[in-house]
Amino acid sequence: MGPFLETLIGGLMSGMLYSLVALGFVLIFKASGVFNFAQGAMVLFAALAMARFAEWFPALLGFDNKVLANVLAFVAAMAVMVAVAWLIERLVLSKLVNQEGITLLMATLGVTYFLDGFGQTLFGSEIYKIDIGLPKDPMFLFDKVFEGGLLVNKEDLYAAVIAAALVIALSAFFQYTSTGRALRAVADDHQAAQSIGIPLNRIWVIVWAVAGFVALVAGMIWGSKLGVQFSLSLVALKALPVVILGGLTSVPGAIIGGLVIGVGEKLSEVFIGPMLGGGIEIWFGYVLVLFVLLVRPQGLFGEKIIDRV
Amino acid sequence: MAEHSNPSTPERGSNKVILDVNNISLSFGGVKALTDISFNVREHEIRAIIGPNGAGKSSMLNCINGVYTPQQGSITFRGQTFSHMSPRQVAEMGVARTFQNLALFKGMNVIDNIMSGRNLKMKSNLFLQALRIGPAAREEAEHREFVEHIIDFLEIQAFRKTPVGRLPYGLQKRVDLGRALAMEPSVLLLDEPMAGMNVEEKQDMCRFVLEVNEEFATTIVLIEHDMSVVMDISDRVVVLDYGKKIGDGTPDEVRQNPEVISAYLGTSH
Amino acid sequence: MLYRENGQFKTSYAADQQIFPIAQDRIGILLLVAFAIVGVPLLADEYLFRAILIPFLILSLAAIGLNILVGYCGQISLGTGAFMAVGAYAAYNFFVRVDGMPVIVAILLGGVCSTLAGVVFGIPSLRIKGLYLAVATLAAQFFFDWAFLRINWFTNNSSSGTVSVADLSLFGIKIDGPLGKYYFCLGFVLVFALLAKNLVRGHIGREWMAMRDMDVAASVIGIRPVYAKLSAFAVSSFIVGVAGALWGFVHLGSWEPAAFNIDRSFQLLFMVIIGGLGSIMGSFFGAAFISVLPIFLSLVLPALGNLFGVTIGTALIAHTELMVFGGLIVFFLIVEPHGLARLWSIGKEKMRLWPFPH
């Protein structure tokens, strides 16, 4: 029982981290109908910016305080992400208004490659550290009930809490603010939203900037865990099944999807993995989603698509 | 508009029923699109379905086609009754249709669009097609010849290699009709074939519809908003309003039906 | 009018339906093929064969396969690398485990296995569309990535995870050395390009395009979505599988699963987009573009750098490659979503009218 619960908790927390990345996808899709393949590249770009700024600012400005360095780096990285959002809107999105979803998907694929190359050109391609003070030591819970207690990683726990807070804040934003409503209108139909006076360009910059913010937070947390390196952009590929499982337009769906995939991956790796030779984590999420889609083609919480003739 | 023989002459009135719609009810979630619709269509006649917008006319055609499955009711075609059919089965039984919003294959040119209507009749398998020998090559040439007859009939020869997306709306409507004709249907369902056309284009389209009906003996079920067209060329008319049938008979009978008049002109409900 | 095309009247439908109805195009293609068979071997050196021509040929073949699925039938697939892997590993197993198996048969059997995999992973397309289908195809990619890494039977229990083939021969003639390999690949490409072109201009091709453009109308005409979609997956996977087997056998010689990873899938997708969706010729353009670009950059960038007194290292060249790829994808999608093939036909139209503007 003990190992099972440990794996379960570990899965829940890693699932929360997936949700964080998935949230970026859902935000952009909800607001602009664009499936942003570049979300992973944005996570990497943001993390690189933060890591390098945290190094450069103390050296440039001559101070030693780590907290100050981190705060300045965060602000600077956020500014960079806003600039990236603005550029993507200007150069890519505004030229592809009302094109089919597939075209926009391919365009974000192009943006992915571009950001990957550009980020490494600007910030370098080695492994960098982000240290925001998350405690890395393990905790042992419930050691009265289970012998030795359940091993829980403190860093993961903090990350999960931060992710949860962000998710709740964003859900509220979409549901209860007028900007949130405008975003949902835009996701439904670009031209219709434009025709009632919603400023498409500004909305898109806002959305991509918010997604950039989410990417930055995700990048910070993942970067603190794994170090900032190129493989971070592959985290997006891990988050895709989460997005699809939850349905592309549902913020709660992203959470539930993340938890399901996180737990499923860990449990399957521990209990089924040894029978199949191990390493099944890389495809478990995808195959699970495949079967779910066969039953519900729109994901667990997505909207049903009706074809009209 | 064109002259047409008196619909109440015995020859047409006594043709046997080719299509029978029995008590069809269709709903989408909470919205009832069709409620208990029944009417029949006689062979070789031109049957119009009219009604205000949203009356359920296109949904009716979609039910006949197998695109929508009605919750209740059945359709009898040449004596065989079905409650549910796939579009392919309907096509194989000889029913073709055009679409209100065209639904042409924008990525192909006119010839290929109309050739796609010949699809059911082209039988050669993948390997023969890949090698393009023998039966496959012959098929392509034979069906191309048939398609060229249709192109001649519809007077669109000059546009045969043009991608359909580049054609003006009126010509696209003709290609849509051509694709349906390519199936050599015994029943042709036309969904607002004259929508968005000017007077000349409507005259052309009427001429085509009448020729198809007279020369190829095709039964025609026609949704149309232009009352003069409907009154002139149809043999019998069905009137729908809010998914219910409110009139059924010859154009003259329907024109004098008080319910139909109030549906179109509006009365205080 | 650079050359006159008018005045060529056809007296039979078969003549009108040929692949190249205009005489100048026919002559042009024949000259090109002749050049490929005779001219190139005279002019090219070993480096050109190994680094550009052979990869170009094999990737064109894979691009043709992918184009059939994505460009003609409109089914997005992000897992092409996996199907290349299936073709390569299946061909390897047939070649190595069956005594006296001829290379061509092994490669074709690899294609057949890829067809089966393609049909199985194509079944979701019957229910799932668009973006959701794209993600579903990634399941194939990651599953096969894992399978060929972890299931030892596929690699003939190789301890290093790498497999290799050697001693390829065709009817007794050894296929080694760049020229032999070039002709081997050229043969496959010419045959398959012709077969593919015949399929897309036949009625199955129209079925595919109908499914892509308007699937509800297609079903009303009597097209069965199941048959159309699965046949597209089948044909596409067969061609891609053969290309994968060629890639492993002829180009790489020895390989591991990473040769067919998700980067390969994206690379092929880029080729098809840049070259032109729904165009056999476009597949060649896209493959040529993507094959040549890295070499072009690695030559031009250092030279540019020297102009400005900056040394440009290999890492920077690799990063620039990513940026240029990404930028070009976006550029083509905005400016000409139908790719180089469309630019080519627009160019020819302008040539017909030149020197008149319209």
Q: Who has greater pLDDT, A101 or C186?
A: C186
pLDDT band of residue B127 (cuts 50, 70, 90) is: confident
Residue B4 to residue B13: CA distance in whole angstroms: 14
Contacts of A265 in chain C (CB under 8 A): none
Q: Establish if C218 touches chain B: CB-CB under 8 angstroms.
A: yes
Contacts of C115 in chain B (CB under 8 A): none
Pull the structure tokens for residue B148.
């060229």
Mean pLDDT computed over B112-132: 88
Percent of chain A, pLDDT > 90? Answer: 1
What local confidence, expressed as pLDDT, does residue C112 receive? 96
Q: Establish if A309 touches chain B: CB-CB under 8 angstroms.
A: yes
pLDDT in tens, A169-223: 887 887 788 877 777 777 777 778 778 887 877 887 888 888 888 888 888 887 7
Under an 8 A CB cutoff, do B116 and C206 touch? Answer: yes
How far apart are the CA of B7 and the nearest CA of chain C, in angstroms?
Answer: 31
What local confidence, expressed as pLDDT, does residue A199 receive? 82
A152 membership: H or E segment, kind and range? strand A150-153
Residue C283 to residue C49: CA distance in whole angstroms: 20
Question: Do C12 and C156 lie in a common domain?
Answer: no
Report the mean per-residue pLDDT for chain A.
80
Mean pLDDT computed over C65-72: 94
Q: Specify if C212 maps to a domain.
A: yes
Contacts of B58 in chain A (CB under 8 A): 309
- CB within 8 Å of B24: residues ≥ 6 apart: B34, B36, B37, B38, B60, B63, B70, B72, B73, B74, B75
Residue A122, pLDDT > 50, answer yes
pLDDT in tens, C257-284: 889 988 899 899 989 988 988 899 999 9
Contacts of C212 in chain B (CB under 8 A): 107
Residue B178 to residue B150: CA distance in whole angstroms: 6
Contacts of A309 in chain B (CB under 8 A): 58, 62, 67, 99-101, 103
How far apart are the CA of A110 and the nearest CA of chain C, in angstroms?
Answer: 4
Residue C298, pLDDT > 50, answer yes
Mean pLDDT computed over A276-297: 81
How far apart are the CA of A132 and the nearest CA of chain B, in angstroms?
Answer: 52
Question: Do C173 and C295 lie in a common domain?
Answer: yes
CA-nearest residue of chain C to B185?
C221
In SS3 terms, chain B reads as CCCCCCCCCHHHHCCCEEEEEEEEEEEECCEEEEEEEEEEEECCCEEEEECCCCCCHHHHHHHHHCCCCCCEEEEEECCEEECCCCHHHHHHCCEEECCCCCCCCCCCEHHHHHHHCCHHHCCCCHHHHHHCCHHHHHHHHHHHHHHHHHHHHCCCHHHCCCEHHHCCHHHHHHHHHHHHHHCCCCEEEEECCCCCCCHHHHHHHHHHHHHHHHHCCCEEEEECCCHHHHHHHCCEEEEEECCEEEEEECHHHHHCCHHHHHHHHCCCC
C280 membership: H or E segment, kind and range? helix C280-307
Query: Domain residues for C225?
Result: 44-353
Chain C neighbours, 3+ Cβ pairs < 8 A: A, B
Mean pLDDT computed over B119-132: 86
How close are the terminal C-alpha atoms of chain A, in Å? Answer: 55
Burial class, B175, CB count within 10 angstroms (exposed 0-12 / middle 13-18 / buried 19+): buried
What ipTM did this prediction achieve?
0.86
CATH number for the domain spanning C233: value is 1.10.3470
Alpha-carbon distances of C325 from A83, A86, C318, rounded to whole Å: 22, 21, 11
Under an 8 A CB cutoff, do B139 and C203 touch? Answer: yes
Contacts of B106 in chain A (CB under 8 A): none
Under an 8 A CB cutoff, do B91 and C199 touch? Answer: no
Mean pLDDT computed over B216-245: 89
Question: Do C13 and C119 lie in a common domain?
Answer: no
pLDDT in tens, C192-221: 999 999 999 989 999 999 999 888 889 999
pLDDT band of residue C85 (cuts 50, 70, 90) is: very high
Q: Who has greater pLDDT, A6 or B176?
A: B176
CB environment C253-291: b (16+ within 10 A), e (fewer): eebbbebbbbebbbbbbbbbbbbbbbbbbbbbbbbbbbb
Contacts of C278 in chain B (CB under 8 A): 107
DSSP for residue C257: G
Residue C2, pLDDT > 80, answer no
Partner residue opposite A102 with nearest CB, options C130, C320, C334: C130
What local confidence, expressed as pLDDT, does residue A308 receive? 47
pLDDT band of residue B6 (cuts 50, 70, 90) is: very low
C164 membership: H or E segment, kind and range? strand C163-164
Residues 98-127 of A with CB under 8 A from C: 99, 101-103, 105-107, 109-118, 120-121, 125
Residue B4, pLDDT > 60, answer no
Instruction: Using DSSP, state whether C308 is helix, strand or coil.
Output: coil
pLDDT in tens, C32-49: 888 888 888 888 888 888
Under an 8 A CB cutoff, do C136 and A293 touch? Answer: yes
Q: Which range is most confident: A96-100, A246-250, B169-173, C130-134?
A: B169-173
Question: Do C279 and C217 lie in a common domain?
Answer: yes
Q: Establish if C213 touches chain B: CB-CB under 8 angstroms.
A: yes
Partner residue opposite B105 with nearest CB, options C204, C209, C224: C209
Q: Specify if C8 maps to a domain.
A: yes
Reference A250, options A201, A213, A302, A203; nearest CA is A302
Residue B3, pLDDT > 60, answer no
Residue B148, pLDDT > 90, answer yes
Question: Do C128 and C74 lie in a common domain?
Answer: yes
Residue A103 to residue C70: CA distance in whole angstroms: 12
Contacts of C216 in chain B (CB under 8 A): 67, 103
Under an 8 A CB cutoff, do C12 and B131 touch? Answer: no
Residue B265, pLDDT > 70, answer no
Residue C165 to residue C177: CA distance in whole angstroms: 14
What local confidence, expressed as pLDDT, does residue A304 receive? 63
Pull the structure tokens for residue A289.
């989603």
Report the mean per-residue pLDDT for chain C.
87
> Is the separation of the CB atoms in A172 and A251 below 8 Å?
no
Reference C331, options A83, A96, A45, A118; nearest CA is A96
CB environment A125-154: b (16+ within 10 A), e (fewer): beebebebebeeeeeeeeeeebeebbbbbe
β-pair partners for B95: B187
How far apart are the CA of A151 and the nearest CA of chain C, in angstroms?
Answer: 29
pLDDT band of residue A144 (cuts 50, 70, 90) is: low
pLDDT in tens, B170-195: 899 999 999 999 999 999 999 999 88
Residue A57 to residue C299: CA distance in whole angstroms: 36
> Is the separation of the CB atoms in C321 and C297 below 8 Å?
yes
Report the mean per-residue pLDDT for chain B.
86
Chain A neighbours, 3+ Cβ pairs < 8 A: B, C
Residue C207 to residue C211: CA distance in whole angstroms: 6
Q: Specify if C358 maps to a domain.
A: no
Question: Do C34 and C98 lie in a common domain?
Answer: no
Count CB-CB contacts under 10 A for residue A63.
12
pLDDT band of residue A162 (cuts 50, 70, 90) is: confident
Burial class, B100, CB count within 10 angstroms (exposed 0-12 / middle 13-18 / buried 19+): middle
Contacts of C225 in chain A (CB under 8 A): none
pLDDT in tens, B22-60: 999 998 878 888 999 999 999 999 999 998 887 888 899
Contacts of B148 in chain C (CB under 8 A): 13
Question: Do C176 and C211 lie in a common domain?
Answer: yes
- What is the secondary structure of A42-107 as a DSSP string? HHHHHHHHHHHHHHHHHHHHT---HHHHHHHHHHHHHHHHHHHHHHHIIIIIGGGTT--HHHHHHH
Question: Do C21 and C113 lie in a common domain?
Answer: no
Residue A154 to residue A140: CA distance in whole angstroms: 10
Residue C316 to residue C325: CA distance in whole angstroms: 14
Antiparallel, parallel or unpaired: β B219-223 and B187-191: parallel
Under an 8 A CB cutoff, do C214 and B105 touch? Answer: yes
Q: Establish if C278 touches chain B: CB-CB under 8 angstroms.
A: yes
Mean pLDDT computed over A7-19: 82
Please report how the helices A101-123 and A39-61 are oriented relative to each other, as an axis angle in degrees rounded to 10: 20
Under an 8 A CB cutoff, do C203 and B148 touch? Answer: no
Residues 267-306 of A with CB under 8 A from B: 306
Please report how the helices C177-200 and C225-246 are oriented relative to each other, as an axis angle in degrees rounded to 10: 170
Count CB-CB contacts under 10 A for residue B66.
21
Contacts of C327 in chain A (CB under 8 A): 110, 114
Question: Do C36 and C152 lie in a common domain?
Answer: no
What local confidence, expressed as pLDDT, does residue C1 receive? 52
pLDDT band of residue C3 (cuts 50, 70, 90) is: low
Q: Specify if C209 maps to a domain.
A: yes
Under an 8 A CB cutoff, do B106 and C213 touch? Answer: yes
How far apart are the CA of C335 and the nearest CA of chain B, in angstroms?
Answer: 18
Question: Do C26 and C66 lie in a common domain?
Answer: no
What local confidence, expressed as pLDDT, does residue B9 receive? 40
Partner residue opposite A297 with nearest CB, options C128, C325, C326: C128
What local confidence, expressed as pLDDT, does residue A148 receive? 62
DSSP for residue C53: I
Comparing C86-95, C166-175, C211-220, C292-301, which segment has the lowest mean pLDDT?
C166-175
Q: Establish if C322 touches chain A: CB-CB under 8 angstroms.
A: yes
Please report how the helices A251-267 and A281-295 are oriented relative to each other, as an axis angle in degrees rounded to 10: 130
pLDDT in tens, A233-285: 677 788 888 888 887 777 778 888 888 888 888 888 887 777 777 777 778 88
Structure-derived torsion over alpha carbons of residues B112, B118, B121, B122, reported in degrees to the nearest 10: 0
Contacts of A233 in chain C (CB under 8 A): none
> Is the separation of the CB atoms in A44 and A51 below 8 Å?
no
* Radius of gyration for the alpha carbons in chain B, expressed in angstroms and rounded: 19
Partner residue opposite A111 with nearest CB, options C76, C315, C330: C330
How far apart are the CA of B255 and the nearest CA of chain C, in angstroms?
Answer: 33
What local confidence, expressed as pLDDT, does residue B104 receive? 93
* Contact residues of B toward C, CB < 8 A: 65-67, 86-88, 90-92, 96-97, 99, 103-108, 112, 115-120, 122, 124, 126, 129-132, 136-137, 139-141, 144-145, 148, 179, 183
Partner residue opposite C132 with nearest CB, options A103, A277, A297: A297
Question: Do C141 and C208 lie in a common domain?
Answer: yes
Chain B neighbours, 3+ Cβ pairs < 8 A: A, C
CA-nearest residue of chain A to C138?
A286
DSSP for residue A304: P
Q: Specify if C100 maps to a domain.
A: yes
Provide the number of structural domains found in chain C. Answer: 2
Counting other chains too, the contacts that B244-247 makes at CB distance below 8 Å and 24 or more residues apart are B244/B35, B244/B36, B244/B37, B245/B36, B245/B37, B245/B38, B245/B39, B246/B51
What local confidence, expressed as pLDDT, does residue C11 receive? 83
The count of C-alpha atoms lying within 13 angstroms of the C-alpha of A22, restricted to the half-sphere facing its C-beta, is: 34
Q: Chain-centre distance of CA A308, in angstroms? A: 34
Residue A61, pLDDT > 90, answer no
pLDDT band of residue A309 (cuts 50, 70, 90) is: very low
CA-nearest residue of chain A to C274?
A106
How far apart are the CA of A214 and the nearest CA of chain B, in angstroms?
Answer: 37
Q: Specify if C53 maps to a domain.
A: yes
> Is the separation of the CB atoms in C286 and C340 below 8 Å?
yes
Percent of chain C, pLDDT > 90? Answer: 34
Question: Do C172 and C56 lie in a common domain?
Answer: yes
